[in-house]
Amino acid sequence: MQEQEAKAYFSKELLAWYRVQKRDLPWRRSRDPYHIWVSEVMLQQTRVETVKPYFKRFVTLFPTVDALAKAPEEKVLKAWEGLGYYSRARNLQSAAREVSERYGGTVPDTKERFSELKGVGPYTAGAVMSIAFNRREPAVDGNVMRVLSRYFCIEEDVAKGGTRAMMERLQYELIPEGEASDFNQAIMELGALVCTPKSPHCLTCPVMERCAGRLEGKEESLPIKTKAKPPRPEYRACALVVSEDGGSVLLRKRPATGLLADMWELPHVEFAAMGWPAAMADAAVGDALAGWLGAELGPEASGAVRPAEPVGVAEHTFSHIHWNLRVHRLTAATAESAPLQEPYRWVDRAGMEVHPLPNVFVRLLKAEGFIPA
């Protein structure tokens, strides 16, 4: 049957190509399932080049499951700072604690057990089980969806759950006996290096001859995916409060759930939540922000917060929200005269090392000279 031949051809040629072309990546130098696991979590929605330095630093700081389990959460988040999707880090540490307690620090080697851990979904479970233990499990990510939808000319919407399940069955059939680790890495490698989202390099593709999408002239239009909604705008006033001696800045810790959970940030507030007009002039924003922050900090500090000057506008786009931050420098009484209560804290330059900040605030503090560029 022709389809069986197309499958056997795909598996054989892809594996041969991978043996020659595979990249030397930091996590491929380790056989430690924990290291493979860390790399797979970091690689969720994140490019290889971005992950490389984070991975090296992370496994140096936390070389074993037990080391990660014992570490303070702030240190883990700090090691993740700038990578985004911070729940990945918190879930990974939670899972490490589970493995440490229930399995004595040994990573489970079955998909059933491993999948019970926090932050481990179908992709990560399949990836770690196949790559680290050579188990025959599919691991369908964006690369695999793209490669399979093109090679087999699958025109179903890859955002649908049913399509994903079909891809998993297909990938499972394609895995040659005893070759799950290399084959799964090979198909992802092809997606990363050759079968790229835009302008795929078909002429150097090891399976071009029998690629149905290519033969139909659809390699650029596959995979078919429904578009994401545009992010909704949020207009916010943001306070850059530097202490009187210039050595500290006022930060606050975010709640343990939701956007940027457990991260630190400059205090800010949404215009709409305060009933402020979005088109408010700078002077009015400074006054309103000072009044709001004074109330936030409590009676002792109230009235001690005063507007200084507008700094400018910082913008930051998340996958679902677009922040427009009107940043103002403010002055405030410092620790001695007005003790702060949580979640607020004065943090000096050295203290920045233990306070994980989202990138938008790191950039802001660098631009204002508080963090060295």
Whether residue 372 has a cis bond before it, omega within 30° of 0:
no
For 372, half-sphere exposure in the C-beta direction (CA atoms, 13 angstrom radius) is 3
Nearer to DNA, 12 or 23 (CB): 23
DSSP helix/strand/coil, 30: coil
Q: What is the CA radius of gyration of the chain?
A: 25
Residue tagged active-site, from 3, 5, 40, 336:
40
CB of 283 to DNA, least distance (A): 26
CB of 129 to DNA, least distance (A): 11
CB of 332 to DNA, least distance (A): 26
Cβ–Cβ < 8 Å for 369, 241 = no
Nearer to DNA, 125 or 332 (CB): 125
Supply 76's token pair: 């883990």
Nearer to DNA, 283 or 321 (CB): 321
How many Å apart are CA 218 and CA 258, to the nearest integer? 40
Q: Is 40 considered catalytic here?
A: yes
Cβ–Cβ < 8 Å for 226, 159 = yes
- Nearest by Cα to 347 from 262, 248, 242: 248
Alpha carbon 118 to its chain's center: 15
CB of 339 to DNA, least distance (A): 30
CA 157 → CA 124, 149, 162, distances in Å? 22, 10, 9
Nearer to DNA, 131 or 240 (CB): 131
CB of 19 to DNA, least distance (A): 15
Q: Letter for the amino acid at 149? A: S
For 281, half-sphere exposure in the C-beta direction (CA atoms, 13 angstrom radius) is 2
Nearer to DNA, 44 or 130 (CB): 44
Sites of contact with DNA (CB under 7 A): 25, 39-40, 43-50, 82-87, 91, 118-125, 141-143, 146, 159-162, 188-189, 191-192, 197-199, 223, 225, 227-230, 258-261, 316-321, 358-360
Q: Letter for the amino acid at 146? A: R
- Residues annotated catalytic, as ranges: 40
